A and B are shown apart, each in its own frame.
Chain A
Amino acid sequence: MSRSSTVILMILLGISIVGFFILNLLLGSVHIPFDEIIGILLGRNDGNVIWTNIILKSRLPQSLTAMMAGAGLAVSGLLMQTVFRNPLAGPSVLGISSGASLGVACVVLLSGSIGGVALSKLGVIGEVTITLSAIVGSLLIMALIAFVAQKVRGNVTLLIMGVMIGYIANAIIGVLKFFSAEEDIRAYVIWGLGSFSRVSGGQTSVFIILMLVLLPMSFFLIKTLNLLLLGDSYAKNLGLNIKRARLWVIGCSGVLVAVVTAYCGPVVFLGLAVPHICRGLFHTSNHAVILPASLLGGASLALLCNLIARMPGFEGALPVNSVTALVGAPVVMWVLFNKRKNDV
């Protein structure tokens, strides 16, 4: 694909983000005129207080969260697919999101039965606790995976190890559920459905700042990722330290998933789907193109999914996970049907 058409596609992706972002602010169960929204965003507080609250406390943070989460998951999925040389790899394969779930399950499910306080009733403190427990859980699992990565040679072995660790985490969650109070289980299940609106107020800015720091860091890995495409032997012969490279890529991907999962719950599918869509669009595997493309594509698709989840008529918002799969799966299938020979 020529340089100019790559640039044009990138710009189109950027425009789609802006477009979906505006639609996310505009559409919802309450109708707010466009010029009012602009006014509210510019800080003119002359209008309706309810409208101001809806925009600043709900739609704006939700849109920003969706954008960042989508970008993070897509980049993370791309890194996983490259390092494992497996098109089915995604952020969830290494059990890192299961680790987050385990962390949340431990806190949510055990708080009721042991501490005697249902965390689901605690409001903001509860939210912060859930976020922290998800991060701790996923980072612990990631440390375990990183340790295993230094010990085993083959990528397939490592992938299977990750899947197994994920199963163990899910099994423990199952046991915890069995011993928990019903309302806690409900709280956990709702967290597990994924949502871009779960985080509130000050937490949103923490999440956005974290992502703004983490996402650009993935760009440091472009040369490493391109070398990894050649396979371990060729990459090593071209001067790459394979074990260190693997550690960096898995680490970067893992931290992104950990943070996104902590704030939005285990959002599925975007991480797997977006890199495929971008490879289908850009016809290249050069990470200097496909990494920024996945970042933009992830942000755009997440905004679209969020929009659909909140469409007027679906009062109360659909679970994000259902929408991501419903929107993402057909798109991936369409890309696969239309691909040129051996493209993906």
Chain B
Amino acid sequence: MRRNETIRVVGLDTGYSDRKHTTVITHDINASLYSRELTCLLGPNGAGKSTLLKTLTAFLPPLKGDIMIEGRLLNVYSDSDLAKVIGVVLTERLNINNMSVDELVGMGRSPYTGFWGHMSAYDRHIVDESISLVGIDGLRGRMVQTLSDGERQKVMIAKALAQETPEIFLDEPTAFLDYPSKVEIMQLLQRLSRERDKTVFLSTHDLELALQIADKVWLLDKPHGVTIGTPEDLALKGEMTKYFQRDGATFDIESGLFKIDHKLTDSITLEGKGPVANMVRKALARHGVSTDAKDNNNRIYADESGISLNGDSYPDIDSLLDAVDSILDRI
């Protein structure tokens, strides 16, 4: 068994409505989400990522169309039933003081505990397990307000795990985190989808990361609507270029990632191989110097043994760039 369809969306319009106005934000979405898959929702600010996420998690009613979760229509779920099907991690910053990590993760058991909220031995076991799965055993006794952003995000993911829902929805879980933490959270979510058969759906602005780790990508954009596929399929079909083409950046089909375009005004010949040559090429490109020319008067040689320009050797790339500037007569 590779995966199961857990959520199906048919002809969905999302947006806001009150008595006078209806504002449609995303129009006619048809899509499915699967268990054991990490799906990333990508799109520029204002495309309606949050609105879509809020609609799928029943915080907002759909304007039109149906959302089926585990074979049942979303709007027939009661609040307490839904709490056992969808767990969320939100962007809103928690404003809780004097609650320990243990207690907060324990709140994830609320849909299962009785009137007084008393936890059974089984509930405690699930909380312990969720905490270890996320790898935050060391934080158990800490108060929530003393945690870093990344730690807090993990605690909320543990809360969602303790909720034991087949679906986990996360609104920009990697925002405000440093890069290693972003990678860590994404890898954690991917691992959970595999190990626990979860359907993980998250919105993010971290394009590079999403393209490397997501099983599916939903590209959301005002003019194009939503386009869905594996990052690789979308790249081959040219969808990536269509969505994210901007001045100064192009989608590199070779690596499947984005590249920043540098304006190249000069050229120089670069010889040599290996990481040193690659780094010199990268530094020169940022410096506006192309290294494509094969027969330039100026010649750089770079490999593990060192870097030289027209026979003079340089200790590092920084000093090489100074030399390149003076040779090219640049100010």
Binding site for B on A (CB under 8 A): 85, 220, 222-223, 226-227, 229-231, 233-234, 236-241, 279, 283-286, 288, 341-344
Contact = CB atoms under 8 A, between A and B. Distances in A.
Given A223-B116, A344-B97, A237 B146 contact: no
Contacts of B90: 233-234
B58 to A, nearest CB: 8
Given A236-B59, A241-B79, A231 B92 contact: yes
B107 A238 contact: yes
A266 to B, nearest CB: 29
B116 A343 contact: no
A226 B96 CA distance: 10
B94 A231 contact: yes
B146 A341 contact: yes
A284 B146 contact: no
Contacts of B84: 239
B113 interface: yes
Interface string B90-109: 10101111110001100110
A226 B107 contact: yes
Contact of A239 (B59, B82, B96, B104): B82
B294 to A, nearest CB: 60
Contact of A223 (B103, B108, B113): B113
Nearest to A279: B98
A344 B111 CA distance: 28
Given A237-B86, A285-B97, A230 B79 contact: no
A223 B97 contact: no
B117 interface: yes
A233 B169 CA distance: 13
B59 to A, nearest CB: 6
B146 A239 contact: no
B163 A286 contact: no
A237 B116 contact: no
A238 B111 contact: yes
B203 interface: no
A220 B114 CA distance: 11
A216 to B, nearest CB: 13
B122 interface: no
Contacts of B88: 233-234, 237
A238 B83 contact: yes
Given A227-B110, A233-B59, A239 B86 contact: no
A60 B115 CA distance: 37
Interface in B110-160: 110-111, 113, 115-117, 145-146
Given A222-B117, A343-B97, 12 more contacts: A85-B95, A226-B107, A227-B107, A230-B107, A233-B59, A233-B88, A233-B90, A237-B82, A237-B87, A239-B110, A285-B97, A286-B103
- Which of A237, A285, A341 is the most central at the interface, judged by chain B CB atoms within 10 Å of its CB? A237
